[in-house]
Structure 1
Amino acid sequence: MVKHVILWKLDEKLTDSEKDQVKAGIKEGLEGLAGQIPGLVDITVRTEGLPSSNVDVMLDSTFVDAESLKGYATHPKHVAVADGKVRPYTVLRSCMDYEI
């Protein structure tokens, strides 16, 4: 199994209301991929961090293996969510992939 964890910082130019809308869109879009991508075992998006957090959104996902993660990265449904709901609104992306 492979874990894929992403942390995003949203653009500071967004208002609090816009940030809430963007977070909801990211959560809906990415969690909506459950059952849509071969090898994707679990996907959860966290948008309500504690005040001590220095990022706005976290993706925590699990894949059968590294090949499944590669397939996810290029899958058209994932690319559509990333291009439409994530990339336009984020200024920082940190990733960690690891085997469990």
Structure 2
Amino acid sequence: MIKHIVAWNFKEEISQEENCNNAKKVKEELEGLKAKIKEIRTIEVIIEPLKSGSFDVVLVSEFDSVETLQAYQIHEEHLRVSSFVGSVLRNRKCIDYEI
């Protein structure tokens, strides 16, 4: 199984209120992909992490294999949501690993 973790920060030039609204929309959009992309085994978006961390929004998802992760990454719905996420968040960091 493959664990796919992505983390972002809020854009500094956007107000805190708008960042919070954007985070809720990001969570809704990303978690909504589970119903649209069969390759997703699990998906969770954390929008209120502990303040001791370095990121504001974190995606944790699981896939059966590298191939299913790759299928997810090129799926049109994922590309649509990724475009939105990139427009409202910054500093994307990602780690994928096998468990």
TM-score by length of 1: 0.94
List runs of 5+ in structure 1 lacking aligned partners.
none
Q: Equivalents in 2 of 1:35, 1:2: separation in Å?
A: 19
Partner SS state of residue 35, structure 2:
coil
> Which residue pairs with 2:76 in the alignment?
76
Partner SS state of residue 13, structure 2:
coil
Q: How many residues align?
A: 99
Q: Conserved in 2, the CA contact under 8 Å of 1:39 and 1:65?
A: no
> Which residue pairs with 1:94 in the alignment?
93
Q: Equivalents in 1 of 2:98, 2:50: separation in Å?
A: 27
Deviations 1:55-99, CA, capped at 9 Å, x for gaps: 110000000110011011110011111112x00122201100001
TM-score by length of 2: 0.95
> Which residue pairs with 1:10 in the alignment?
10
The RMSD of aligned alpha carbons is 0.9
Q: Equivalents in 2 of 1:71, 1:49: separation in Å?
A: 28
Identity of aligned residues (%): 36
Task: Report the residue type matching 1:96 in the other structure.
Answer: I
List runs of 5+ in structure 2 lacking aligned partners.
none
Question: In the alignment, does 2:32 pair up with 1:64?
Answer: no
CA shift at 1:49, angstroms? 1.1
Moved over 3 A (4+): none
